[in-house]
Amino acid sequence: MNSRLIRETSPAGASAPAANDAETAAVDLSDNRLYIHRELSQLQFNIRVLDQALDERTPLLERLKFLLIFSRNMDEFFEIRVAGLKGQIALDHEMIGPDGIAPKRALAEISEIAHRQIERQYAILNERILPELVAHGIRIVRRTQWTHKQKLWVRRYFREEVAPLITPIGLDPTHPFPLLVNKSLNFIMRLEGVDAFGRDSGLAIVPAPRVLPRLIRMPLEICEGGDNYVLLSSIIHAHAEELFPGMQVLGCYQFRLTRNADLTLDPEDVEDLALVLRGELYSRRFGDAVRLEVADNCPKDLIDYLLKQFGLNESELYEVNGPVNLARLFRIASDVSYPQLQYPPFTPTLPKALKHAEDLFQVIGKQDVLLLHPYESFSPVIDLLRQAAKDPQVLAIKQTLYRTNANSEIVDALVDAARAGKEVTAVVELRARFDEESNLTLASRLQQAGAMVIYGVVGIKTHAKLMLIQRREGSELARYAHLGTGNYHTGNARLYTDYSLLTSDVALCEDVHKLFSQLTGMGKVLHMKKLLHAPFTLKKTLLELIAQETAHAQAGKPAQIIFKVNALTEPKVIRALYKASIAGVQIELIVRGICSLRPGVEGVSENIRVRSIIGRFLEHSRAYWFANGGDPQLYLSSADLMERNLDRRVETAFPIEGRKLQQRVRNALELYLTDNTSASLLQPDGQYLRLAAADGDASRNVQAELLEKLCGAGAGSAH
C-alpha cells in the first residue's frame, strides 16, 4: 500500500517512540484502504489450501485431499458467500463494509480470481497429481483407454446398475427443462432423429442417479495390476445412445449447477424452529443458481442454452478440463491401502494426571486439566460424560451441541444418562450450517430418551462449547465443567486442533451454570465472575484488554498481544488493534482463514504481523493472550473475531489460570510464530507470502513439532 494514511508528517512505526493519543488521532482508521474485503480474503484462504497440492513434502494422497478440499471450499463459497452478494444486488440492498467495496465490484473480482484458480486446480490435477498416481498403480481409466475386457464389464455395469435408475428427459413443450438438484451431476445431449411419437427437439437432459457412486473400482481380473477406477460420467457417456433407442447422440456433455444453499429464517415468523427448518432444508436443494460448471468441450450454443435456462451470465460459467464433481475423488484420497502415500498414523496421548485415572471426578476435583487435540485424546471428555451417566451421585448434565453426530459417543452417553433418570438438558443448535439435518435427528433421539432439548435463542446461534455436570458429594452439590474451543465431534477431534478444559473451579462452573440458565430460561443478563460471553461481555472485554495493552505501550512498558483465531473481520476490534500498533504494542495474529486487517501499513500497522498456518490438521483453536505488564492474561474461546460471533451468537471465552497451564498455551503459540514451512504471511496488499527456512536455518513445522512432543518419536511429520 503506497498511500500514507497519516494526516501529519511524522511517522509512527515500530522504531518510533511510543505514540501518544494525538498521534493516534492523526490516523484515519475509517479509511477503507485499511481493510480487506471479507470474501476476497476467504478466496485467498482457499488458494492457500490449493497450494498444498503442489507441496512435494506432503504425501501424494494428502496432496490430492487438499485439491479436493479446495473443491468443497469453493462449493460452499459459491453456495453461501457468492449467493449472498448476488442476493444483495437482486434485492437492491447492497451492504458495503469498511473496505468500501460494493457487491458488484466484489463479484467481478471474485469471478476473475475464481476462474484463474479453478483452471489452475484442474491443471494441477491433470499434469501433476494424476500422473503421479499412475506411477503408484492408481489409475482413473479414460474411455479411450479401456481394453476389450473392460468395455464388456463397463457395458454390463451400465445395463445392470446404471440404466435402470436413469430417467432421460427429452426436451419439448410437454417436457420442459427439469428442476435440477444443487451440485448434482447432469448431462446435456444433442440428438438427431425422430422418436416413436414423432418428437425431434434435438436436446435431452440426463441427470445422473444420485444413489450411485461417481467413481467405480474395476475388478482386478480385467486390469493389469494396480487399482483401476472408472468415472460414472464416462460410463454414461459411453452408452448414451442406449438411453435413446433408434436415435443418434451427436454430443454428450456433463454439467453441474451450484445453487444458493443458505437458509433464511425470519425469527418473527418462526413458531416451531424444527418444523420450519425441515422445510427449509428441502428448499436448499433448489435455491437460485449461482454457478454453472460444464465440460470444456461443450459447444457454445449448448452452453448459452444452459446459461439462459439458469439465468446466469458468462462470468458465472466455469469450463473445466475434467470431472465437474471433483469432490467424489475422495474415495481414492482416503484409500487406506496406500499408507506410504498418506500421513503416518499417530496415537493421541493423555496427560500424566489422566493416564491411570479410574475416577475422573477425583482428578478434576483436584486440578484443572487442559487438553490440546488432536495431539492429546478427546476420550477424557467422552469418558467423563460416560462416567457421569452411570454415576448414581450425578444428578444433572447440561450440554451444548453445535456439530456432532446423532450416533456419536457423546449423544449415546447423554441418552444413557437420560434413561438412567438424570436430568439431561441439551442445547442443540439446529442451524449449524450443513449439519442441520443431523442435528434434527439427534434432537429427536435425545427427546425420545427423555432429555430436555432446547433450541437455544431464536435469531442467535448457540456456538459455545460447554458441558456441566452436577454431582452430589456428601452434603454438598459439586459441579464439573468442560469448556472447549471445538465441537463435540469425535471425528473432528482427530482432524482439528482445539483446546479442552476440564475443571471444577467453583466460580467458573457457577458461570457455566448461569449461562445455561440464560439459554434455557428467560431473564436479565447474569453477572459472570470469570466467563466472558457473547453477545454481552466478550467483545466489550476484549476491546478493554486491547486498550489496556495500548496504555502499557504508551507508558513505555513492554506490551504484546497474541491472538489465534480462524477469522478476523470485526471492525471495532481491527481499529483497536491498529491503535495498539500505533502505540507500539507488538501484535502477532495467527489467523487461519479470513483476515480483514491489513498488516504492515506504514504508520498504522507496522507492529502487526498476520500469519496463516495450513497443514495436516485444520487449525481451529482460538486463544487471546495479553502481556498485561508482566502478569499475562489468557483466554481460550469458541469465538472468532467476527461480527456474527461477537454480536449475534452465544459464545464463550474462558480464562486459563495458573502459570503452568498458561505456559503450555504460550509455548504452543510460540511454535506457531516460529513455523517456517506451513506458514504464510499476509502482506499489505492482501496477498500471502509462503514462508521458507532461510539458508542455514532449521525447518520448523508447528504441527510436526507438537506431534513429536506430545505423541512421541515416530509419530511422523505433518509434511
Extract the annotated binding site.
73, 403, 433, 496, 592, 620
- 3-class secondary structure, 593: coil
Q: Which residue among 237, 239, 373, 463 is the active-site one?
A: 463
Residue labelled with grid coordinates 458468462:
314
Query: Rounded CA gap, 318 and 116, in Å?
Result: 10
463 close to 639: Cβ distance less than 8 angstroms: yes
482 close to 464: Cβ distance less than 8 angstroms: no
Residue labelled with grid coordinates 482463514:
593
Residue positions forming the annotated binding site for ATP = 73, 496, 592, 620
How, if at all, do strands 586-591 and 203-207 pair? unpaired
How, if at all, do strands 289-295 and 423-428 pair? unpaired
Query: 410: Cβ–Cβ under 8 A, 6 or more apart, which residues?
Result: 381, 382, 385, 399, 401, 404, 488, 489, 490
How, if at all, do strands 423-428 and 394-401 pair? parallel
Q: E strands of 193-234, at which residues? A: 203-207, 215-217, 227-231
Query: Rounded CA gap, 86 and 78, in Å?
Result: 10
693, three cell numbers: 527456512
Q: Is 463 among the catalytic positions?
A: yes
Query: Rounded CA gap, 303 and 295, in Å?
Result: 10
Helix 379-390 / helix 409-419 crossing angle, nearest 10 deg: 10
Please list the residues that pair with 534 across neighbouring strands: 651
575, three cell numbers: 481499529
Would you give the DSSP letter of residue 678?
S
Q: Is the peptide bond before 374 cis (omega within 30 degrees of 0)?
A: yes
Q: Is the dihedral of CA 392, 393, 399, 401 positive or negative?
A: negative
Query: Rounded CA gap, 79 and 211, in Å?
Result: 22
Query: Rounded CA gap, 276 and 278, in Å?
Result: 5
Query: Rounded CA gap, 677 and 226, in Å?
Result: 33
How, if at all, do strands 560-565 and 622-626 pair? antiparallel
Query: 35: Cβ–Cβ under 8 A, 6 or more apart, which residues?
Result: 97, 98, 99, 100, 571, 574, 596, 597, 598
Query: Rounded CA gap, 243 and 127, in Å?
Result: 34
Query: Rounded CA gap, 388 and 306, in Å?
Result: 58
Of residues 476, 474, 463, 477, the one with CA closest to residue 433: 463
136 close to 338: Cβ distance less than 8 angstroms: yes
For residue 320, report the phi and psi dihedrals to the nearest 5 degrees: -120, 145
Q: Which amino acid is at 72?
A: R
Label residues 157-182 b or e (16+ Cβ within 10 Å = b).
bbeeebbeebebbbbeeeeeeeebeb
Query: Rounded CA gap, 522 and 518, in Å?
Result: 6
Residues with a known catalytic role: 463
